[in-house]
Amino acid sequence: MAYLRKLFKYTKEDSLIRDSFILFIATMIMNLAGFLYHFVMGRVLGPADYGILGVVLSLFYILLVPFNVIQTSISKFVAMFKAKGDNKSISNLFVRASRKLLLISICAFTVLVFLSYLFLSKYLKIPINVLFIVAISIPALFLLPVVRGVLQGLQSFRSLGNNFIIEAIVKFCFGLILVFLGLGVFGATLGIFSSYIISLLVGFFLIRNYFKKYNKKLNTKIVYKYSWPVFIVLLSLTLFYSLDVMLVKYYFDDVTAGYYAAAALLGRIAFFVSFAIVSVLFPKVAEMHALGKENLHLLKKALFLVSILCGGIILVYLLFPKLVVLVLFGKSYLVITKYIAIFAFLMSIFSYVYLLAFYNLSVNRINFVYGLVLLILLEFLLLVFYHSSLLQVIFVLLILIVLTFIFMLIYTFVKNGKAVSDNTCL
C-alpha cells in the first residue's frame, strides 16, 4: 500500500491522474456514442452489410495512421515549445503544417479515387460511392490532427476532450439519420465524413490565437525526421488491428466476416478505454524530457492505470458475455460470445505495447520500430497460412502480441535504445 500511495502522489507537474480522468470521461462519452453507432448499424444493416462497414472502418483506421503521426509529431514539438514558453514557434508550426498538409491531402484524395476505380472497389467488395466518401474525408483527416496536436501539446485536455465528443456525436446522429433514410452503408460512411468536418471547424475556433505566422526561423527538418519513426510505429500498430479484419473479409464469407468485425470491435474496447492515458502521458513526458527531468514514474503509473481499466473489461466479458453481445449487437451475433474475452485480453496486451511505444517516442528512443515492423510481417504471413477458423486467427494474433510485449518491456526498461537528438527545432 505504501508503494501505491507513493505511486499516486500528486505534484503540480505530475497531474497524470487528474488529466487522464478528464480525457477518460471525454473518450468514454466518445466511445459510448461510437458503440451506439455500431449498435444501430449492426442491427439495421445486418451481418453482411455490417461486414462491409467493418472494412470501411478498417480503411479509415489505416488513413488515421498519417492522422496520428501528424498529431503525435505536432504534440511532441508543441510540448517542447511550451516548456520554453515559445508561443511564436507554436503558431509558426501550426500555420506551416496546415498549409503543407492541405496540399498533400489533395494529392492523397486523387490517388485513392483512382485506386478505387482501378481495383479497390472490386477487391474489397465495396460500392464505389462509399469509397469516394472515404476519399473526400482525407483533407479533414490531415488538418484535424494539426489542431488536436496543438491542443494536446498545450495540455488543453478539456478542449481536446470536447472535440472528441463533438466528432462522436455528429457521427452517430448524422449516420443514424442517413441510414434510416435508406442510404445504408453509404449513409453510415457519410456520417463519419460529417463528423470530421464539423470537429475540424470547432477545432479551428479553439486555437484561433495561433493562426498568425511570425517572422521567426523554424527548423522543420527535425520535425520531419521525427515523423518517420512515428509513422512506422503508428502504421504497424494500426495494421495490427486492421489487417486481420481485411484478411478475414477476403478468406471468409460475408456473414462470418461480419461476426469477426463485431468480435474485433468488442475486443478493441479494452484498447479504447486506455487511450486517454496514452494521450495524457505523451505530452507530459515530452515536456519533462525537454526540461531534463526524470519521468519513468509516470510510465509506471500509466501501466498500472491501464491494467485496472483493461482488467475490468476482461472481467465483464468473462462474467456476462451473452449480455454484452445482446445489448450491443443483438441475438444474431450470439455466436461471437466465445471470442470476446480472448479478444479483450489480446487487445489489453496491445494496450501495453501501445503505451510503451509512445513512452519511448516521447523520450526520442526509436530503435524498437524494427520489432513492430517484424510483428506486422509475421501477422500477414501467419494469417495467410493459418486461417482455418476465427479462433485460429485470434490465437495467432495473441501469440504475436505477447511476444511483442515482452520485447517492448525489455527494450524500455533495459534502456538499450538509441535516442534521436532532442533538438528544440529553433
pLDDT in tens, 119-129: 777 777 778 88
Q: What pLDDT score was predicted for residue 227?
A: 81
Domain-embedded: residue 426: no
* Crossing angle (nearest 10°) for helices 157-178 and 275-290: 150
**375 or 66, which is more confident:** 375
**17 or 10, which is more confident:** 17
**Max Cα-Cα span within the chain:** 63
Domain-embedded: residue 422: no
* Model confidence pTM above 0.85: no
- Could you report the per-residue pLDDT of 206-217, keeping only the tens digit for each? 888 777 766 666
Predicted confidence (pLDDT) at residue 187 exceeds the cutoff of 90: no
Grid cell locating 107: 494529392
Domain-embedded: residue 421: no
- Could you report the per-residue pLDDT of 284-332, keeping only the tens digit for each? 888 888 777 777 888 888 999 899 999 999 999 999 999 988 887 888 8
Q: What average pLDDT is seen over the chain?
A: 83
Neighbours of 224 (CB within 10 A): 10
Locate cell 475556433: which residue? 205
- Could you report the per-residue pLDDT of 396-423, keeping only the tens digit for each? 999 999 999 999 999 988 764 444 444 4
Domain-embedded: residue 420: no
Which contacts qualify for 390-397: CB closer than 8 Å, 24 or more apart? 390/248, 390/252, 390/256, 390/259, 390/260, 390/263, 390/339, 391/338, 391/339, 391/342, 393/244, 393/247, 393/248, 393/260, 394/339, 394/342, 394/343, 394/346, 395/342, 397/240, 397/244, 397/346
Q: What pLDDT score was predicted for residue 144?
A: 92
Grid cell locating 165: 465528443
Domain-embedded: residue 102: yes
> Which range among 198-202, 243-247, 421-425 shows the weakest confidence by mean pLDDT?
421-425
Domain limits for position 41: 2-414
Domain-embedded: residue 312: yes
Domain count within the chain: 1
**Interior angle at CA 234, CA 244 and CA 133, nearest 5:** 70
